[in-house]
Structure 1
Amino acid sequence: MTGWIDAHHHLWDLNAVHYPWLMARGVERFFGDPTPIQRDYLLDEFQSEAVPCGVRASVHIQVGAENALDEARWVQSIADANPIWPIAQVVFCDLTTSDLPTQLDNFQTLSSVRGVRQIVGRAPGEDAQTGTNALLDDPGFPRGLREAEKRNLSFDLQLIPELMEKTARVLAQAPDIRIALCHAGSPHDRSPAGLKKWAQNLRALSNLPNVSCKLSGLGMFDHNWTPDSIRPIIEECLEQFGPKKVMFGSNFPVDKLYGSYATLAQAYRDLVPTEAHSAVFSETAARFYDLEVHWE
């Protein structure tokens, strides 16, 4: 039996790790009202939703803990306690910090760590308030990417379409690190004109040989999504990157705000061509994150 790998999901235990954004009550986020997910979301609940859909392994992505190392150690404890569930993790680390080698040394004592995520852009409104996009102007950022690459760590890239061309120029300064583009590049404007501009900007990243793409998080900017509404995004990503550089991710429990895992999985199963299933739902993620899977 073969299985799927969910290449982008989150877990959290609010008693074990503090997540300031998650516990901020009454604060609307770019992806909507987080109230329904302001509670523990543990591996057993994730498995109860994902396993019936064929998922047999996963990649945990950092999710804004107050202390990134605490979060990484907690995720490692989950991996250690569930040896029959292959799980890798992507941690948060500020790649511009002066003690980067020491921080990466600490993370790399954890066997599940495969990469780093430092968000470049979430959504235009939030980015304008937080100044997150300024990371692209910091000369320490490409230096940090090169340091991560020397350690065989990958980088999960979250940004918005308006930043793709500038980001591609920055990434050219670290041409060897493996990049996973989160959420198909967050096409937040779903109008025909918005999707056309997203597809044009996406070329700046898909033309880079070291960049792969995650089909994940598509509900964050389309809460009432349907298979037809996300079809153009999936088709464009497959056309630009090719199935061997595309991977499925649920973005649960965030995308749980917009529908069930079963509904999401079925939509992807139907929209991704059958001949691309093995790559998109398993092989790309296993290769990218060096995730050992032994299907029964």
Structure 2
Amino acid sequence: MSTKIIDPHVHFFNLLDGQYTWLQGKNPPAWPNLDKIKKLVSAQKLINSTDFELKGLVHIEAGFDNSAPINELNWLSKHLSEMPFKAISFNQIDALAEQFSDALDALAHSSLCGIRDITEGDDAIRLKSPRCIHNLDLLATNKLHFEAQFELHNVSVANHIAHCAKQLPHLQIILNHAGLPDDLASWQQSVELLAQHKNIAIKFSGFELLSLTQAQQEACFKWLLQHFGEQRIMFASNFPVCQINTHYNALWHRHYALCKSHSLWHKLSYANAMHYYQL
């Protein structure tokens, strides 16, 4: 068995210098173990917290400074100086074309490989803005991919993302947190639809945010594997948010237990992330 892993969905928080208004403002999330999530953690400490070999990671924007996201990238360069990493930053996906382009120019950084703009719940309608497909095209032109975070049971929005993927075959889309499965019948329908587009991949993570049983999570994994196949799924942690209900090491062992072969494990825990994020 290969013990090497690349974690393609990690957050680091610098609460002294960053803003993180969603986490340390007046209305922080009502999550258990919030004290664990809000700690400053070094890459070395994360490496030491697991008996797998953490060989690289992808940092997902965490709200350090949404008015100037480059500040987060500059901080990461220092904080992760001894760890191979790539970064996903923030840009408003339905912004005016000039605004989106200017914001993208301001994000020039060696670690940047993509953009995320969270569009969960009612915000998912922003993905259907006419501005969105133009901005997605600009991402592809700049060899950056789009991290889509919305609930796949929103079939109407899933259909629109499928349309974008078809219209922009040069764009790489990566679905975050397994598409946040809730209404499983609708989620399955959208998975089946989106998996038809070879420029869409998906990360298996974020289940601490959901109310699915272990058996339901395993069923979701099997459905994703059936439709996306071994090459377009990546295991991820969502650290430190995963600590809502489990330890980092235990989560990776849970991922490992889902795999019926060493080959499948190697692809989903290492090789696929290496391919998509060029670590």
Q: TM-score, with normalisation over the residues of structure 1?
A: 0.84
> What is the percent sequence identity of the aligned residues?
25
Q: Does the alignment pair 1:201 with 2:190? A: yes
Amino acid aligned to 1:262: N
Going from structure 1 to structure 2, the CA distance change for 1:277 and 1:77 (only over 3 Å counts) comes to: same
1:154, 1:143 → 2: CA distance? Answer: 14
2:267 — aligned with what?
A: 279
1:107: Cα distance to partner?
1.8
1:2: Cα distance to partner?
5.8
1:34: Cα distance to partner?
6.7
Q: Could you say what secondary structure the match of 1:91 adopts?
A: strand
Q: Does the alignment pair 1:86 with 2:84? A: yes
**Mean Cα displacement is larger for which, 12-21 or 169-178?**
169-178
Q: Could you say what secondary structure the match of 2:217 adopts?
A: helix
- CA deviations 1:180-237 (Å, max 9, x no partner) are 11111000x2xxxx323211121121111100110111221038x53x3421111111
Spell out the pairing of 1:24-173 with structure 2 (5 A cutoff).
Answer: 24-25=25-26, 27-28=28-29, 32-33=31-32, 35-36=34-35, 37-50=37-50, 52-67=51-66, 68-79=69-80, 81-82=81-82, 85-95=83-93, 96-97=95-96, 98-108=98-108, 110-121=109-120, 127-128=121-122, 132-161=123-152, 162=154, 163-173=157-167
Q: Could you say what secondary structure the match of 1:17 adopts?
A: coil
2:3, 2:33 → 1: CA distance? Answer: 34
1:15: Cα distance to partner?
1.3
Q: Could you say what secondary structure the match of 1:156 adopts?
A: strand
The answer on whether the counterparts of 1:94 and 1:118 sit within 8 Å (CA) in structure 2 is: yes
Q: CA RMSD in A?
A: 2.0
Q: Does the alignment pair 1:9 with 2:7? A: no
1:244, 1:119 → 2: CA distance? Answer: 25
Q: What is the number of residues matched between the two proteins? A: 269
1:268 — aligned with what?
A: 255
Amino acid aligned to 1:154: H
- CA deviations 1:119-170 (Å, max 9, x no partner) are 222xxxxx34xxx223123211111111010111111111102132233224
Q: Could you say what secondary structure the match of 2:238 adopts?
A: coil
1:258, 1:75 → 2: CA distance? Answer: 26
Unpaired stretches in structure 1, ≥5 consecutive residues = 122-126, 292-296
Q: Could you say what secondary structure the match of 1:243 adopts?
A: coil
Amino acid aligned to 1:210: N
The answer on whether the counterparts of 2:14 and 2:64 sit within 8 Å (CA) in structure 1 is: no
1:157, 1:201 → 2: CA distance? Answer: 14
Q: Could you say what secondary structure the match of 2:15 adopts?
A: coil
2:277 — aligned with what?
A: 289
- CA deviations 1:246-291 (Å, max 9, x no partner) are 1111001011111011221111101122231121111111110111
The answer on whether the counterparts of 2:174 and 2:202 sit within 8 Å (CA) in structure 1 is: yes
Q: Could you say what secondary structure the match of 2:87 adopts?
A: strand
Spell out the pairing of 1:190-269 with structure 2 (5 A cutoff).
Answer: 194-222=183-211, 225-226=213-214, 228-269=215-256
2:161, 2:172 → 1: CA distance? Answer: 14
Going from structure 1 to structure 2, the CA distance change for 1:27 and 1:11 (only over 3 Å counts) comes to: closer
The answer on whether the counterparts of 2:85 and 2:111 sit within 8 Å (CA) in structure 1 is: yes
1:112, 1:174 → 2: CA distance? Answer: 24
Q: Could you say what secondary structure the match of 1:172 adopts?
A: helix
1:28, 1:19 → 2: CA distance? Answer: 12
Q: Could you say what secondary structure the match of 2:23 adopts?
A: coil
Unpaired stretches in structure 2, ≥5 consecutive residues = none
Q: Could you say what secondary structure the match of 2:174 adopts?
A: strand
Q: Could you say what secondary structure the match of 1:59 adopts?
A: strand
The answer on whether the counterparts of 2:147 and 2:173 sit within 8 Å (CA) in structure 1 is: yes
Amino acid aligned to 1:106: A
**Mean Cα displacement is larger for which, 202-211 or 133-142?**
133-142
1:171, 1:33 → 2: CA distance? Answer: 37
Q: Could you say what secondary structure the match of 1:287 adopts?
A: helix
1:180 — aligned with what?
A: 174
